[in-house]
A and B are shown apart, each in its own frame.
Chain A
Amino acid sequence: MVAANEARVNVTWKGQNGDLPDTVSRDANDGDVRQWVTEAVRGGGVPGIAADARADFTDFVIDRFTANDARPYNLIQVRPKVPFGA
């Protein structure tokens, strides 16, 4: 159960995806979120993502989604940029 003032953090890194084991404040700033996911991925702390000592999320996008009926918890998503289509 994720409290209303907290958020789950989902990370995509090199085609792998997982959630941080712990929730964070829904108001956590981008810098803190980047630092937490960097430390977690480098240390192998994200289930579903292999430890990568060179993980770097500097250019990644941080999206924030408010809880809704389909997903009853706040979500912070850390993902690579997606500039390509054609």
Chain B
Amino acid sequence: MVGVGALGSHVVQLLRNERATLRVIDFDKVEQKNVASQFHGKPGVGKPKVLALKQAMQFLFARDLETIPHRLAADNAKELLGAGDLVIDCLDNGASRRILQDFVRTAGIACVHGALAADGGFGRVVWDEAFAIDDEQAGGAATCDDGAHLPFVAIASAYLARAAQEFLATGRKIGFEINPGGAIRA
């Protein structure tokens, strides 16, 4: 799991019953504003997100995580992702997604991407074979940090977790196009 912010943090807790080893990768720290929109609570503020999530998952569910508090880069992608059977992309920027995509395509590792529109009005769960990276709009765009889109973030996270669960169980790759009013299988 690369990126454990709004989408990724919720996906991790939804995958807590999977028998797979869950490795979470994120260089960022929990900020106060993240508490409104991410599966990070006040006790985690100031800590690396992966460590805060590990502690929360241990405390709430006795579920262990492997944690990597580093930024994914081209020169560490093999070390961080190379042993995985499935990479779940919950990154928030095109540059990092490009590094991830280049690696999984070269290494032949299954990868599913979770992606949200800035206005909380659309989300996608797309397997890498069909995923085209959308860069952020020029001048920046609103993010989910104010918590206004939390229910939709949670819905999109559930579909992403469902796609991962299906792949882990059967190897089938299912994707979704998600609107606030519902979702369709892609």
A residues with a Cβ closer than 8 A to B are 12-17, 48, 59, 61, 63, 70, 77, 79-86
Point out the residue from B134, B177, B180, B185 that lies within 8 Å of A83, measured CB to CB: B134
As a 0/1 sequence over residues 129 to 159 of chain B, the CB contacts with chain A under 8 angstroms (1 = contact) are 0001011110001011000000010000000
| Whole-angstrom distance between the Cβ of B148 and the nearest chain A Cβ | 12
Pairs A-B, 5 closest by C-beta atoms: A86-B5, A15-B121, A86-B3, A82-B115, A85-B90
B residues with a Cβ closer than 8 A to A are 3-8, 26, 28, 89-94, 113-124, 132, 134-137, 141, 143-144, 152, 177, 179-181, 185
Complex Cα distance, B185 from A15, in Å, reads 17
The tally of CB-CB contacts under 8 A between chains A and B is 91
Chain A residue at smallest Cβ distance from B49: A86
**Majority SS at the chain A contact face:** loop
Whether the pair A12, B89 counts as a contact (CB closer than 8 A) is no
Complex Cα distance, B152 from A16, in Å, reads 13
Whether the pair B26, A86 counts as a contact (CB closer than 8 A) is yes
Q: Which residues of A contact B28 (CB under 8 A)?
A: 86
Q: Which residues of A contact B134 (CB under 8 A)?
A: 61, 81-83
Q: Which residues of B contact A63 (CB under 8 A)?
A: 132
Complex Cα distance, B135 from A82, in Å, reads 8
Chain B residue at smallest Cβ distance from A14: B121
Point out the residue from A16, A77, A81, A86 that lies within 8 Å of B117, measured CB to CB: A81
Q: Which residues of B contact A70 (CB under 8 A)?
A: 185
